[in-house]
Amino acid sequence: MSTNKKKPYGTAAITGALSIASYIVLFSNIDSVMDYFTKGGYYAAFPIMTALYFSFIHGTFASSVISLIGLEPAKSGH
């Protein structure tokens, strides 16, 4: 019954802190962020890269939280 897998406490703490910090930095400077991100043309890289950045950091955070609350994929296949 017991899982041998180590719980990802460290990953959750680091990515969680990074994710929250990134959200705070971005939203506290939202006026200039919106200004640059909506200029179009080559500035398109800003929203795309930001979305990718958050998907890695926040995605890893979400994954570790899900694992920490005990939700793991089924062991027996269906």
Partner 1 sequence: MKKIIFLVVAALMFFGMASSAFAAGGPPSDVKKGVFTELDASERTVVFEPEDGGEAVTLKLGEEVIPEDIELNKKVMVSMGHEGEEEVITSASVMFLGMTMDKVIALLIVGLIGGLLSGFIGSGGAFVLTPAMMSLGAPGAVAVASNMCHKFPKAMVGSYKRYRYGQVDLKLGLVMAVTAIIGVQIGVRVQKMILNTWGPAGSDLYVSIAFVVILITVGTYVFWDAWRLSKKGAEIETPKLAKAMQKIKIPPMMNFPKAGVRLSFWVTVPVGLATGMLAATIAVGGFIGVPGMIYVIGATAMVASATELLIAFIMGLWGSIQWAISGLVDIRLTLLILAASLFGVQLGALGTTYVKDYTIKVVMGAVMLIVMVSRGAKIPIYMNELGLASVSEGSQSILEAVSFWALVAALATAGGIITVAMIKGIIKDRAKDDEAGKEAVGAKA
- CA–CA dist 78, 59 (Å, integer): 26
Shortest distance, position 54 Cβ to partner 1, whole Å: 6
Nearer to partner 1, 6 or 70 (CB): 70
- CA–CA dist 65, 76 (Å, integer): 22
Shortest distance, position 25 Cβ to partner 1, whole Å: 12
Nearer to partner 1, 6 or 32 (CB): 32
Shortest distance, position 24 Cβ to partner 1, whole Å: 12
The set of residues, in sequence order, having a beta carbon less than 8 Å from that of 22 and lying 6+ positions away, is: 53, 54, 57
